[in-house]
Amino acid sequence: MKEEYDIENLNPRKNPYSKRLKKQITINIDNDTIDFFKAQSDACGIPYQTLINLYLSDCAKQKKHLQMSWK
């Protein structure tokens, strides 16, 4: 290995995923909801946190609005 590399001539490229960086947060989710996504995870082989993120991302892309009525 070289002791020094010429970084400027390495043809640096932008990270294609830099716009999709994730931010770690803390959120309280019911056990039933987590169990639901974990079961989905077992069925499809995708980690449950990724499934939750995909679902929420889909809601945001489609600009879904929450419709609830309290009884």
Contacts 24+ apart (CB under 8 A), 53-60: 53/22
Structure tokens at 31: 């056990």
Give, for all 71 residues of the chain, the pLDDT tens digit: 677 777 777 777 777 777 778 889 999 999 999 999 999 999 999 999 999 999 999 999 999 998 888 88
What pLDDT is stored for residue 16 in this prediction?
Answer: 74
Whether the full predicted model's pTM is greater than 0.75, yes or no, is no
What pLDDT is stored for residue 34 in this prediction?
Answer: 97
26-51 burial, b for 16+ CB within 10 Å, e for fewer? eeeeeeeeeeebeeebeeeeeebeeb
Nearest CA to 39 out of 52, 58, 25, 56 is that of: 52
